[in-house]
């Protein structure tokens, strides 16, 4: 009877988020039932190839050292208990981790003197693929869920500033092979964009995840439409991309002249859609500044698919749970932004704010909780356990 009353209550409650979101759904798991929740570690912008100005009492610390420390903290998660925040499995042991989800920029853009994408991918393989010791509930190694970032793709297609080598698709090919498992693996020389896009879907805990290349532009939405046509309209859908839902105007195709990548127009040609906005004017940072028309196309897509319940991303990095409203404020999409170990807006200046997220999905109640995990809370004690920060719960 009690479970029936709780189910009825969930039907009446609307999707919501804590703090930046309007309301909060509280879920009180029963201690006497097996844990149904899926666990996902979420991070982004690991940027192999650059250095942190300060870390662990040292200066100019290379990314492989920083990421190795992050991996050691991720491996410590099963020994922790979740905070008592009224979210999914609140107060319960973290236990097994099913997936490690990374929203791109595995490699940094190889602008001189930064190392090649090939060197960065090798470091990622060592630190993450070989270094992570997590196991899922079946005692199998936690699976990776990767999407590429703008730096990975710029390394493959070129950039308007000098890179050495001018192009290296090793990181893109590595992500493609790991996620799509082609019969003949791609290499840094055989990868070709946009033919070889890293678009794929996974059903996780009754939720359809759509993983896409950079941002849901018109080209990616063609693929997404096909995937969603095979999904029950009542199945919740989550989008994972590198760019935030408002996009990055510089990532569209150059609409000018030969549509090439050049230092005058500063478009990066990382999507299939041509920029259409504001005569492609440059902002104060010297980059294209407007993508309102492109965003409106995405908003129409969201309205046509109300079962899209959330969006996870990196690119501009800090921990934030917020609602994407669209250019006209007529959409409400719960959105989750994650920090970077190398380029966090706040954590790059204060390493105590370095964080990733732990996502728990309860497939029974269709509830998701994302929790900020501060992995370097005391820089004077490198072995200190991570601590919990903000959390956010939504109904899917």
Instruction: Give a yes or no: residue 91 inside a domain.
Output: yes
Model pLDDT, residue 28: 35
Instruction: Give a yes or no: residue 347 inside a domain.
Output: yes
Model pLDDT, residue 225: 98
Count of structural domains, the chain:
1
Instruction: Give a yes or no: residue 203 inside a domain.
Output: no
Residue count of the chain, please give it: 396
CA distances to 63, 190, 196, 213, 271 from 116, in Å: 14, 17, 20, 21, 22
pLDDT tens-place values along the chain, 396 residues long: 444 333 433 333 333 444 444 333 333 334 334 567 999 999 999 999 999 999 988 999 999 999 999 999 999 999 999 999 999 999 999 999 999 999 999 999 999 999 999 999 999 999 999 999 999 999 999 999 999 999 999 999 999 999 999 999 999 999 999 999 999 999 999 999 999 999 999 999 999 999 999 999 999 999 999 999 999 999 999 999 999 999 999 999 999 999 999 999 999 999 999 999 755 566 666 678 789 999 999 999 999 999 999 999 999 999 999 999 999 999 999 999 999 999 999 999 999 999 999 999 999 999 999 999 999 999 999 999 999 999 999 999
Instruction: Give a yes or no: residue 201 inside a domain.
Output: no
Number of H helices, E strands in the chain: 7, 14
Instruction: Give a yes or no: residue 29 inside a domain.
Output: no
Q: Is the peptide bond before 165 cis (omega within 30 degrees of 0)?
A: yes
Instruction: Give a yes or no: residue 102 inside a domain.
Output: yes
DSSP 296-333: HHHHHHHHH-TTEEEEEE-SS-S-EEEEE-TTTT---E
Alpha-carbon gap, residue 119 to 13, rounded angstroms:
50
Token pair of 73 as six digits: 């903290």
Cβ(132)–Cβ(126) below 8 Å: no
Model pLDDT, residue 2: 40
Instruction: Give a yes or no: residue 275 inside a domain.
Output: no
Instruction: Give a yes or no: residue 25 inside a domain.
Output: no
State the residue range of the domain holding 117.
36-195+317-395
Model pLDDT, residue 13: 37
Q: Is the peptide bond before 353 cis (omega within 30 degrees of 0)?
A: no
């Amino acid at each position: 009877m009690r479970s029936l009353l709780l189910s009825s209550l969930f039907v009446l409650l609307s999707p919501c988020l804590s703090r930046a979101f309007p309301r909060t759904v509280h879920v009180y798991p029963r201690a006497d039932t097996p844990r149904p929740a899926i666990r996902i570690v979420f991070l982004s912008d690991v940027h192999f190839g650059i250095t942190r100005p300060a870390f662990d009492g040292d200066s100019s610390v290379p990314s492989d050292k920083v990421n190795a420390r992050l991996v050691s903290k991720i491996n410590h998660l099963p020994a922790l208990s979740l905070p008592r925040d009224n979210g999914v499995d609140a107060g319960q042991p973290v236990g097994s981790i099913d997936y490690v989800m990374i929203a791109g920029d595995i490699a940094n853009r190889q602008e001189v003197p930064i190392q090649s994408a090939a060197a960065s991918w090798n470091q990622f393989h060592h630190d993450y693929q070989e270094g992570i010791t997590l196991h899922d509930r079946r005692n199998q190694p936690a699976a990776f869920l990767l999407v590429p970032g703008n730096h990975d793709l710029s390394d493959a297609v070129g950039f308007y500033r000098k890179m050495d080598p001018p192009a290296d698709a090793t990181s893109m090919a590595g992500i493609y092979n790991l996620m799509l498992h082609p019969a003949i693996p791609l290499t840094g020389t055989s990868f070709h964009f946009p033919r070889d896009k890293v678009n794929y879907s996974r059903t996780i805990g009754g939720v359809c995840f759509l993983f896409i290349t950079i941002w849901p532009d018109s080209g990616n939405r063609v693929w997404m439409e096909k995937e969603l046509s095979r999904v029950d309209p009542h199945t919740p859908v989550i989008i994972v991309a590198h760019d935030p839902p408002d996009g990055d105007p510089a990532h569209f195709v150059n609409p000018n002249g030969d549509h090439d990548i050049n230092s005058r127009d500063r478009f990066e040609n990382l999507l299939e859609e041509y920029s259409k906005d504001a005569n492609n004017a440059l902002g104060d940072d010297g980059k294209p500044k407007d993508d309102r028309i492109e965003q409106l196309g995405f908003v129409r897509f969201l309205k046509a698919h109300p079962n899209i319940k959330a969006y996870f991303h990196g690119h501009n990095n800090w921990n934030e749970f917020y609602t994407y409203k669209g250019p006209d404020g007529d959409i409400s999409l719960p959105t989750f932004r994650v920090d970077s170990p190398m380029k966090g807006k706040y954590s790059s200046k204060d390493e105590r704010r370095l964080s990733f997220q732990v996502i728990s999905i309860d497939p029974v109640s269709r509830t998701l909780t994302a929790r900020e995990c501060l992995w370097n809370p005391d820089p004077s004690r490198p072995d200190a356990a991570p601590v919990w920060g903000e959390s956010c719960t939504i109904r899917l």
